[in-house]
Chain A
Amino acid sequence: MAERTFRDGVKAMAPLIVAVLGFAISFGVLARAAGFGWFAPIVMSATTFAGSAQFAAVSVLGDGGTVAAAVAAALLLNLRYGPIGISVAPWLTGGAWSRFLHAQLVVDESWAIAAEGEGRFNRRVLFGAGLALYVAWVAGTAVGAVLGQALGDPATLGLDAAFAALFLGLLVPIAKDRMHVIAALLGAAIALTLTPFTPAGVPIIAASAACLLGLRKRP
């Protein structure tokens, strides 16, 4: 088999583009409903390029949490890009600047498409898939943010429930084994227990302590 190229990365991404656009439009609409205006969500998608963390930051700040709580929730979610970045690092040949750029295009989907088995990754495929995803992500956000202006009161439209629905949709595919499910339930329990006693945002950050379950040896 010929080595896969940049174009193969773009092609592999194509079937996912509609889903990514939908995800991005949701972000634009919900960020707007949370009081982010139309421009900040677009800038955030262009500079952060990590959907679930962006949703987390918007949801914590929209709920009246502090800047620190919103930033901490987003960055804790993005910590998983530490190990993911390390897994692709040996395959990102080239100068520091090239490695830096490739690293920014690593998200869950482009990482999965660039995987070639046995821990190998194709950096051209990664670049193609990542770039296609990036364009769709920023464009979709812009559509959603502008569209959001035409929509009415977020509560009347049920948009407040859309956040929980979205996080549920993100949780289910990554809850691969029992430990993931237990961590999610423990996180929920910690957050609900603390909600009456702490300022908004704090319960979310505290719930991340549930990840310490990972210290246990896996069976």
Chain B
Amino acid sequence: MPNSKPKLQLDLQDLAPNEGALVLLRRALGQLAAGECLELHGDSAGLSEQLAAWCRKEGHRCETIQGLAGTYRIEAGGRVASVATSRFDVSETADPAWGLAPRGGRLETGGPQFGFTLRQKRDVWAHELNTIYKQAAAGQWSATRDIPWERLPRLAPEVEGAVAQIMTFLTENEFAALYVPARFIARIHPHYREVVEVLAMQVVDEARHAEAFTRRAEAGGAGLGTTAVSGQLSLQTLIEEPDFTTAVFLLCVMGEGTFLTLLKFLGEHAPDPVTSALALLAHRDEARHVAFGTEHLRYVFEREPDRRTSLASAVERRSRMLASISGLSPYVNDALVIYAGGGIGIGQVREGARLVAGLHGEMDRARRERLQSLGFDSAAATEMSAYHTKNFM
């Protein structure tokens, strides 16, 4: 090795390789350019046994110094130069090779390409993601802590049965609202981590709902109700929608939007404080999901106003697929009437039917309003709202 004066000295004392000696050695060598020398001192037997092979593997040249035990001269092989950043600002396109590297960090080149298929910002982004996430994180209620289970009264069997049937219906739909984002999370490039994080919170919210609703159905003694084919058909078209923006539109804007109206209704006409609390808390979460959906669609429409047309077609296409569904499942419809009316007396049923008709009307009105706020004209909004699945979700 040339008589180059060592640029650095390092004394490892008796620290052995398995005790962290290599940690300090790597730090020291990391400060040297190729060809610069380090004078290393170390007494441990392990170091003398392992140093030469380690240097060879890492691309450094190692020499012992004649007559000086435990002293070595190492000529650095140079830092591995290829480090690219995965970008701090949110890129319009995410490189497959950025993989799971956190945005803004450094990244060794030569790594594998990941198969995330959603890697264009325009396909997944939304404004206000940080706000939505913070609200979601702060709004994680607990079914055990925040629901007054001990105040659940014994309701008349027909009312309890109606509550249980509605809870069953809610659970089915919450499952769909869990699976749709879950399917897409796996495809979204981690560079757009805020989108992944918001969707992940959505999955958690729906898991919480499914558990709490099921618990309510069982708590009153009636047990779970019946799932209609119409519901299954409707939810299947949601779960199988392959386009992210279309799925978010159908689920978050149209489906969960409709559910906001339903949950408000259920809260207002709840026969017991548990059902009331559940409806209120679920409504808060669903409002956030609708907010995400709205923000994403707004972002998309800013760039592609014509996308509105294809989304209107998607709604129409879906309604044709669901043409066999003549209406809301009779199990659910009847349960809503009894729930709202408070019983099966003639007067109660009349009142319940009136309220449920009003509910449909309100759902339609709120849907149209939401669509118009997204820039759909009044005629399109009316048509799309009419085409929306009769299953609510």
Pair from one complex? no
Hey, which bits of chain B sit against chain A, CB under 8 A? Answer: none
Hey, which bits of chain A sit against chain B, CB under 8 A? Answer: none
